[in-house]
Structure 1
């Protein structure tokens, strides 16, 4: 990862954008993007992805091909859960299409294991919050209850750049297109 930022392949979830932007703004306004294409609410497909100098046209074309061969799919978000590291999240149902997309991307980019290989099984999720003295799974559930359950459709894959004060979309591909 670059000392000033890192890239992420992510599936945007615009249905929960207001909630996730509010939580991001609460914690760190440097990560609230001014890029109108940037969707903060997302399910990560592969992160960390390539460093800036490795984002070659060949890499971009390979991601485009994976997006093209991945059909759009619907999913629901309702179940709130917490990882052992304290990340409170929503679990997509079904999770299999996200897991398959991650597996395809990882196979194409074996130098980019999901979450740098820090976790065993990769669990598709949409991050909501982090446990603290004032945040519990129950308090997060109380906040997000007004927004879930929600039915969503995965229609695109974004290559996002995360950097304080400069979060932005580098590329975006519709899923399942032949163009």
Structure 2
């Protein structure tokens, strides 16, 4: 992929600046993005709060633009696959960090790829996402962390099945056919680019209404031996 999204910042004129790091070079992309923030209580803003373990991924520019337009949480987080949310509180950093480093460091780097465009039906919105194939390595990574940190069940134990995915958009009901068509077209045009080499897991902290996220730790996977 051409770049990894490092941070997203908002200026006063509503222009969102996406910082990319393609092979060590930094560039600035300015994207006009009309956000509509929502909460479950309908007070006009999406509240994301807490710590999470994620696998950051880079999306093709067309899909990243749609994500910035359609997913309010894109203001706080890069495109990613969630490994574990909510995760440990910051006071436990000194205890959790060495454990994560050891666990993740035992798993070799691997590749994941796009499976299909799918959606979650919610009461007030529809969440569209890129489903990724559940490779043995990805399943091992998930379960290794879940089993070690049983005090923090994924999604607080609310879901029996966890679907590895990359969220693209959250559309309020009723969803227009035009919006769905734009997603489908962009995904089909860039299907051949939707694969990623996974080499690290990040522990991030997000705060309600605060752009960007803080990286509490970065944990590299084991490099494959050259044969």
TM-score, reference length from structure 2: 0.64
What are the ranges of 5 or more consecutive residues in structure 1 without an aligned counterpart? 34-38
How far off is 1:44 after superposition? 0.8
What are the ranges of 5 or more consecutive residues in structure 2 without an aligned counterpart? 1-46
**What is the number of residues matched between the two proteins?**
169
Match of 1:11 among 55, 76, 79: 55
When structure 1 is superposed on structure 2, of 143-152 and 163-172 the one drifting more is: 143-152
Task: Output the CA distance in 1 between the equivalents of 2:216 and 2:109.
Answer: 21
State the partner residue of 1:62: 99
How far off is 1:48 after superposition? 0.8
TM-score, reference length from structure 1: 0.79
Moved over 6 A (4+): none
Which structure has the higher relative contact order (CA within 8 Å, separation 6+)? 1
How far off is 1:104 after superposition? 0.9
CA deviations 1:13-59 (Å, max 9, x no partner) are 1245773465235554x8535xxxxx6111111111112223x2120
State the partner residue of 2:164: 124
How far off is 1:77 after superposition? 1.3
Task: Output the CA distance in 1 between the equivalents of 2:116 and 2:132.
Answer: 8
State the partner residue of 1:36: none
When structure 1 is superposed on structure 2, of 43-52 and 134-143 the one drifting more is: 134-143
Whose Rg is larger?
2
Contact 1:25 1:32 in 2 (8 A): no
In structure 2, do the counterparts of structure 1 residues 175 and 18 end up closer, same or farther at CA, with 3 Å as the change threshold? farther
